[in-house]
A and B are shown apart, each in its own frame.
Chain A
Amino acid sequence: MAKATVHVTLKTGVLDPQGKAIQNALENLGFSGIESVRQGKFIELDLAEADKAKAQTAVEGMCEKLLANTVIETYKIEVSD
């Protein structure tokens, strides 16, 4: 059984107003030196597939079809046992 984790984030250049609001809030709390904050999504999948390469391909399909909107987002997949 493989475990897959997917990080979905807005593409570079796509304005992230939520990230900006988080940055402002952190600065208001006194945290300094924050150059930027980008917010994204983290998705965990437990898969019946044991073959990591096959699991990777399957999750890529899921990202393209549903988990990410590739017009505005990029995704990063990590598969482990």
Chain B
Amino acid sequence: MKSAVIVFPGSNCERDIAFTLTKITGSAPAMVWHRDAALPDDLDLVAVPGGFSYGDYLRSGAMAANSPIISDLKKRAAEGVSVLGICNGFQILTECGLLPGALLRNRNLKYVCRDVTLSVEQTDSVFTAKYKQGEVIRIPVGHHDGNYIADEDTLRQLEDQGRVAFRYCNDNGEASDDANPNGSARNIAGVFNPERTVLGMMPHPERLADTRLGGCDGTPMFESLLDRLS
């Protein structure tokens, strides 16, 4: 499995994702600077990491979404290369139009940095195949702008097409309001494109994929990718 990680000025999770990809897939990703014109050839996966690209100037992800590398990212995504955007990566994918909706300031205006529980809503994808449908997993979040919003038609479409990947839930797997850390519509924590080859999510699965880091609930995502993309 051949992967790449795009690095923007202000990215700060690129090493976390590179560590986890290397550990689980057995090969290190190419680290690609955002000003490069093209990604390496024959990629299976492109990861857009978390952080604060361009200091969140104007809107989170707005500047990065117009970086030179993005036109090649869009081209690869259209060709079917899998794309995983985590946290700021998710914001960048919505800003550049690869995923619908937007991420607004958290409902309570506070930066939220803690583990949350998620329900796995869709296992038919290269990212989630190794999870069980409805499984409740624990994954950390760290964001200020994670409040997912889309118009009603888009939300309905996401639900009808099985494009909600994860929802914030309580320990019983219920998407309750008190389990929603940021005010996201319908407790949505991650969404797919129509082909389910592009996933954007606010929580960080790459940060909890090693027992030494306190848990492995993120591991199945990378095992799914390895299994499906090798």
| A interface list, Cβ under 8 A from B | 14-15, 17-18, 21, 41, 65-67, 69, 71-72
Kindly identify which residue among B59, B108, B151 contacts A17, using a CB–CB cutoff of 8 Å.
Answer: B108
Q: Which of B37-45, B99-107, B130-138 binds A? A: B99-107
Kindly identify which residue among A18, A41, A65 contacts B66, using a CB–CB cutoff of 8 Å.
Answer: A65
Please give the distance in Å from B182's CB to the nearest CB on chain A: 10
| B interface list, Cβ under 8 A from A | 58-59, 62-63, 66, 94-95, 100-102, 104-109, 147, 149-151, 183
Known: A15-B104, A72-B104. A66 touches B109 (CB 8 A): no
A15 and B58 within 8 A (CB):
no
Please give the distance in Å from A37's CB to the nearest CB on chain B: 13
CA gap between A17 and B107 in the complex, in Å: 6
A17 and B95 within 8 A (CB):
no
Which residue of chain B lies nearest to A21 when distances are taken between CB atoms in the complex? B109
Please give the distance in Å from A59's CB to the nearest CB on chain B: 15
Please give the distance in Å from A50's CB to the nearest CB on chain B: 27
Known: A67-B58, A69-B62. A17 touches B105 (CB 8 A): yes
Q: 4 extra interchain contacts, Cβ-Cβ under 8 A, other than A15-B104, A18-B109? A: A15-B107, A66-B66, A67-B58, A69-B102
Kindly identify which residue among A15, A41, A67, A71 contacts B101, using a CB–CB cutoff of 8 Å.
Answer: A71
Cβ–Cβ < 8 Å partners of A67 in chain B: 58
Cβ–Cβ < 8 Å partners of A17 in chain B: 104-109, 147, 183
Please give the distance in Å from A73's CB to the nearest CB on chain B: 8
Please give the distance in Å from B206's CB to the nearest CB on chain A: 26
CA gap between A68 and B102 in the complex, in Å: 12
Cβ–Cβ < 8 Å partners of B94 in chain A: 71
Cβ–Cβ < 8 Å partners of B108 in chain A: 17
